[in-house]
Amino acid sequence: MHLARARQLALLEDFALGLTDGLSPLQCCHALFENARRLKLTTEQRVITHLIKQLNQGLPLGPALHKWFAADLVMLVAVGEHSGILEQLLHQHQQFEQQRQQAWQQFWKPLLYPLAMLALAFAAIYFIGHGVMPKLAVSIPESQWPMLSRILLLATHSFIIPTLLLSVLLVVIWSWGPPVLINFGWRWCRVLGNNGAFLIQRYFSAVLLLQTTTVLMQAGSSLDKSFAAIQRYGSTALAVHTLIMRQKLAKGERRLPQIFDTGLLSARMLFRLGNGSRNASEQGTLLRVASYAALDATQALTRLRTGLQVFCYSVIFALLVVMLGGMGTMLMQLTQQTSL
């Protein structure tokens, strides 16, 4: 069971600070355990006890973290404990992570309202179609039902609404590519991704790849060793692409835009990567590009976000027309019949 992300970073930063002060990894763990016990932080005590047990068995720190920490943090520790700059690596990684979180919020926040309204519209039309309209319809002969009322009853008592709801979900999945459903280790996911699917996941994975590579190279790793570490510890989505990039490096390719052109980075990112690599080292170029990669990803996805908003509001409008129009015309017909 993993700790919360913020607690993982905080614990590792405290550990790195102890290493900077000259303590051994085992001494750092004992010091952290004493503080956790004094303050009655039971979760931290369990984590640190596990680390102490692993270290006493002579295991390196990196693999000992797998049970409690995310894979990318395990990777940083595995690299950082040998380079001696673990604290700096974690600090840089946290800065990049904050950029990714801000970009993620900037992308999704404008979509939350239309998605919520869309869900509410589906719930409302289902309730009206099943709970209200049948009671009104029994008082009027079917031949006198208004057109919109017929459409409303047909839509809510057939596969039209479920099909429409499924279509909306497929559009969201196609655009997003949620990691719990989409794994780029599967061939069909890669094929769909190469044909424009899962843009949101691909673009933010690209940001993670650029920023993680930059952090690892700051620790003294070469480009190939950085890719190897990501391939070993990172997600499957990144491992597939780092394998391709390592193959390009093995063939002698040194131009960063060509190396990173595996279908993950957007054209805008590759363009800026090429512009920044004319008179700079690989590390300098990646550091420059990684600093604004999250913003570039958000800008590159602006049209997609706008398209999703238009799609959501269009479906909401259509549902409201059918729901309100169908119920309203049925009430008018019922009122006219009653007055007669």
Q: For residue range 10-25, what is the model confidence (pLDDT) as tens digits?
A: 888 888 888 778 888 8
Over the Cα atoms of the chain, what is R_g?
Answer: 27
**Domain-located, residue 75:** no
- What whole-number distance in Å separates Cα of residue 62 and Cα of residue 135? 66
**Domain-located, residue 81:** no
Residues 150 and 259 in one domain: yes
**What pLDDT was estimated at residue 98?**
82
Number of domains within the chain: 2
State the DSSP string of 47-80.
Answer: HHHHHHHHHHTT--HHHHTTTTS-HHHHHHHHHH
Structure tokens at 258: 């060509």
Residues 27 and 174 in one domain: no
Provide the whole-model pTM.
0.79
**Domain-located, residue 233:** yes
Residues 127 and 95 in one domain: yes
**Domain-located, residue 77:** no
Residues 175 and 58 in one domain: no
Residues 120 and 61 in one domain: no
- What whole-number distance in Å separates Cα of residue 185 and Cα of residue 181? 12
Residues 46 and 125 in one domain: no
**Domain-located, residue 308:** yes
Taking the CB of residue 157, how many other CB atoms lie within 10 A of it?
13
**Domain-located, residue 74:** no
Q: Which residue has the tokens 């570039």?
A: 296
Sign of torsion over alpha carbons 8, 9, 12, 14: negative
Residues 56 and 92 in one domain: no
Residues 110 and 227 in one domain: yes
Residues 50 and 103 in one domain: no
**What pLDDT was estimated at residue 278?**
62
Domain boundaries, position 36? 5-69
Residues 25 and 108 in one domain: no
Residues 246 and 291 in one domain: yes
Residues 52 and 124 in one domain: no
- Pick from 216, 273, 219: nearest CA to 262: 273
Residue 23 identity (one-letter amino acid): L
Those residues of the chain that have pLDDT short of 70 are 1, 81-84, 276-280, 339-340
- What whole-number distance in Å separates Cα of residue 89 and Cα of residue 73? 10
- What whole-number distance in Å separates Cα of residue 317 and Cα of residue 96? 39
**What pLDDT was estimated at residue 340?**
55
86-127 and 160-176 helices, crossing angle to 10°: 170
**Domain-located, residue 79:** no
- Pick from 312, 322, 330, 314: nearest CA to 161: 322
